[in-house]
Amino acid sequence: MKKITLFLFCFISLNIHSQVSISEDFNASTSLPSGWSASRYSGSVTQACSGISFRSSLYSGPTSSTGWLSSPNYTSVSNGQNVIITFDYKVVNFSAATVATPAGWGNLQVQTSQDNGSTWLTQFTINDSNHVVSNSCANKSFTIPAASVPNASNFKLRFLSTWTAGDYYFYIDNVNASQSASIPNCNAVMTTPTNLATNVSETSNLNWSAASGFPTGYILKVGTTTSGTQIVNNVNVGNVTFYDLPILSYSTTYYVTITPYNGNGNAMGCTQYSFTTNAAPPIGNVCGNPILITSLPYNTTDNTANYGDDYSGGQGSNCGSNTQFYLDGDDVVYKYTATTTGFININLTPSTGSDVYSGIFVYGSCADIGSNCLAGVANGTATVRTISQFPVTNGQSYYIVISTFAAPQSVAYSLNIQVATCTNPIATYTITPDCSGGNTQFFINTNVTSFGSATSVTVSDNLGSTPVSINSLGNVQLGPFQNATSVLVSITNNQDSSCVITSPFITQSSCPPNNDNCSGAINLNPGANFSQNEITSANFGALVSTVPNPGCTGSVFLDVWYKVTVPSTGNITVETKQEPGGLTDTGLALYSGSCSALSLLQCDNDSGSDAFHAKIALTGRTPGEIIYIRVWDFGGNDFSLFRISAYDGTLSSATFDKSNLTSYPNPVKDYFKINYSSRISSVIITNTLGQEVFSQKINDKEATLDLSKLAAGNYIVTLEIDDFTKTIKIVKQ
């Protein structure tokens, strides 16, 4: 054979067997993989999709509104077939990286190039129409048609993210690009449980190894018979290697088939795996095998030491105690299926003869244990734990758990459950602060609005106040109680003590601020921008408002008040921003009129320049008019700091005042200090080639930058302050 013929044969063979194949999970290092390049994207283990993700911090600014991550350029690799692209991503807020960023953030374009990045073709876009709002990574997949990747063409992949609003991280992980004319191999191996495993937990989930041959997803089948689908019926689980199974049955063999697939079809002849669950534990140990209560009344005496410590940690929300970890001791589980719709009373009496930290909790399902109660009561006294007038529905099952703290580990008890024989009273509770004259205390006003089936009731608390018996509806005041004291108020039917209601824990963490009400509104001085006259404030100790709901958020308002006088322009903007470590989400409402006759002008909760903070701009108002400003935590349950300002950009032609900027030392060896009269938003440092080598969010008037890791040389420091960008040349020694 002539040499030229041999050369052509090898060349043709190379092109026949080449194909686009990219598989990058970024887990080797936080540095860019070999051949990859990026702008504003860097490796991070913080809340990564898996292991290490590459993420970009995007926000408003000349150099911070776009970022890209690009693969190497693969030369002459295409075999002319479709290319299947899959990747994981998420968008989460910068200030609270566990909070998913809502719609309006911008877009991500997935692009390809055949000329090493000189020109790019957008193949797929993520925007508001298909974005998955979640703080967990979502998987996206799409197919590039063969016509866009001609045979023997080059291939380069790029992710281009563009900011529109907010301040967020964009995460990218597990990038795969595959081009094949073949279906994937059927060699995904079940790893958890292992094949033929026995004594597998009934709460076990599935894991398997990735198949070869470029699968883009898996189809899962799980049954209790050979090739059965009773548990999972041919579900397309996507391009993952795990699946959360429902709670399994005891002493049962399960059969599992994992079928890889890609754009060319499903793998064929995949192995069927199996495993067998463990035998049922003793009755009462766990929710899956509870003690059955078949009729009422029900009475028993027992000890949790006779059962295992199968649950641990907190008992969950709505469980009647502000102290958690009542599941850390031995546990016993009962199950009651109601035969009628009505009410029952549940009483747990510790029989140890001394105080013991124990509780009784009612759940709607086994999955709710430790997360969310229907009712519950727990404390450290020897008194009866009572859940009275618990509503039940015919045919519904309820799971009753008795447990303790880790110490004493177990409790001897008597359990009594019976149909309710009376109707509970009804009451509401309000706090009256007593903060004058140096006092730091409060009273609780209990307004009894119904006696239920009683003709008189007794109002008492858990701190020893003198009980008050009343025979007509109305208000009873108990106290005073010191701030930060947790108080439980009980209202007992004097004719049938089984009918008693207990309030949630009531407390006043601190005395209300002076601007808790409109009459104490703090005056804001209008500036030309947010930073000029901003103040740092707080809602510590704010009480639930009596002003009607303004309509742009929930119904609970732990609000504080401000006011501003409209300047001569007739325009005013009011905005809140986050103080580091402070409120992450605020609501804002503006009112005209007077404190005794407020008229709502506008309400907002998410329009500010900080994500989840509020901003309202008014125009055409009367100069000299007083606008009242109401600010609250969006969730209605958080006390902390925040920043607030009233301003109008036309009040003055603001300029950057370089006399108020201080930076030193220069040259710098390790630490570089900067301060200015207004807050510095961020700092970006580039080298003489224009490459970004350092960036940091500041959000303060001063900052100390650790530049010890920078190589010696000349650098440009770019500061973003208000609407200005200021640069400083520095020398790193």
Query: For position 554, what pLDDT does the model report?
Result: 60
CB 256 within 8 A of CB 188: no
Instruction: For residue 82, give both structure tokens.
Output: 């479709």
Cα 510 to Cα 541: distance, rounded to the nearest angstrom? 5
Query: For position 386, what pLDDT does the model report?
Result: 84
Residue whose tokens read 């606008």:
627
Cα 351 to Cα 305: distance, rounded to the nearest angstrom? 13
Residues 167 and 27 occupy one common structural domain: yes
Cα 78 to Cα 14: distance, rounded to the nearest angstrom? 11
Residue 556 within any structural domain of the chain: yes
27: Cβ contacts below 8 Å, ≥ 6 apart = 50, 51, 52
**What is the phi/psi pair of residue 175, to 5°?**
-85, 130
Residue 195 within any structural domain of the chain: yes
DSSP count for the chain of H helices, then E strands: 1, 50
Instruction: For residue 385, give both structure tokens.
Output: 């734990």
Cα 114 to Cα 68: distance, rounded to the nearest angstrom? 17
Residue 265 within any structural domain of the chain: yes
DSSP string, 557-596: -B-EEEEEE--TTS-EEEEEEPPTTS-S-EEEEEEEEETT
Q: Which of 414, 412, 413, 411 is nearest to 329 (CA)?
A: 411
Counted domains in the chain: 6
Query: For position 236, what pLDDT does the model report?
Result: 94
Instruction: For residue 400, give both structure tokens.
Output: 């009753």
- 3 state SS of 105: coil
Residue 163 within any structural domain of the chain: yes
Last residue of a domain, one of 251, 277, 303: 277
Burial track 457-479 (b if 16+ CB lie within 10 A, e otherwise) = bbbbbbeebeeeebeeeeebebb
CA 187 to chain centre: 37
CATH number of 304's domain: 2.60.120.380
Question: Environment class of residue 194 by beta-carbon count within 10 Å: exposed (0-12), middle (13-18) or buried (19+)?
Answer: exposed
The edge-to-edge listing of strands for the beta sheet with 121-126 is: 37-39, 66-70, 156-163, 106-113, 121-126
Query: Which helix (H) or strand (E) covers residue 23, if one does?
Result: strand 21-24
Amino acid at 349: T
Residue 512 within any structural domain of the chain: no
Residues 106 and 229 occupy one common structural domain: no
Residues 670 and 538 occupy one common structural domain: no
Residues 323 and 339 occupy one common structural domain: yes
Strand 106-113 to 156-163 pairing:
antiparallel
Residues 251 and 157 occupy one common structural domain: no
Cα 527 to Cα 652: distance, rounded to the nearest angstrom? 8
Residues 247 and 151 occupy one common structural domain: no
Longest dimension (CA), the chain: 115
Residues 522 and 459 occupy one common structural domain: no
Query: For position 119, what pLDDT does the model report?
Result: 96
Supply the range of the domain harboring residue 379: 291-419
CB 232 within 8 A of CB 222: yes
Residues 103 and 215 occupy one common structural domain: no
Residue 166 within any structural domain of the chain: yes
**What is the phi/psi pair of residue 658, to 5°?**
-70, -20
174: Cβ contacts below 8 Å, ≥ 6 apart = 24, 25, 49, 50, 86, 87, 88, 139, 239
Secondary structure letter of residue 660 according to DSSP: G
Last residue of a domain, one of 444, 472, 502: 502
Cα 106 to Cα 124: distance, rounded to the nearest angstrom? 14
Cα 518 to Cα 400: distance, rounded to the nearest angstrom? 47
Could you say which residues of the chain have pLDDT below 50? Answer: 1-17, 653
CB 531 within 8 A of CB 573: no
Taking residue 296's Cβ as centre, other Cβ atoms within 10 Å add up to: 17
Last residue of a domain, one of 623, 647, 671: 647
DSSP string, 109-174: EEEEESSTTSS-EEEEEESTTT----SS-EEEEEEE-GGGS-TT--BEEEEEEEE-SS-EEEEEEE
- 3 state SS of 468: strand
DSSP string, 285-348: SSTTSPEEE-SSSEEEEEEGGGS-----S---BTSS-SS--TTSS--EEEEEE-SSSEEEEEEE
**Torsion over CA: 141, 146, 151, 157 (sign):** negative
- 3 state SS of 83: strand
416: Cβ contacts below 8 Å, ≥ 6 apart = 297, 298, 299, 346, 347, 349
Residues 460 and 578 occupy one common structural domain: no
Amino acid at 729: K
CB 550 within 8 A of CB 600: yes
Residues 623 and 662 occupy one common structural domain: no
Residue 2 within any structural domain of the chain: no
Residues 413 and 432 occupy one common structural domain: no
Taking residue 12's Cβ as centre, other Cβ atoms within 10 Å add up to: 10
Residues 356 and 256 occupy one common structural domain: no
Enumerate the β-bridge partners of residue 444: 431, 478
Residue 210 within any structural domain of the chain: yes
Secondary structure letter of residue 409 according to DSSP: -
Instruction: For residue 692, give both structure tokens.
Output: 């970004």
Query: For position 86, what pLDDT does the model report?
Result: 93
292: Cβ contacts below 8 Å, ≥ 6 apart = 334, 335
CATH number of 92's domain: 2.60.120.260
Q: Which of 171, 16, 172, 152 is nearest to 85 (CA)?
A: 172
Query: For position 353, what pLDDT does the model report?
Result: 53
Residue whose tokens read 């370089």:
658
CATH number of 676's domain: 2.60.40.3080
Cα 88 to Cα 731: distance, rounded to the nearest angstrom? 40
CB 159 within 8 A of CB 67: no
CATH number of 238's domain: 2.60.40.10
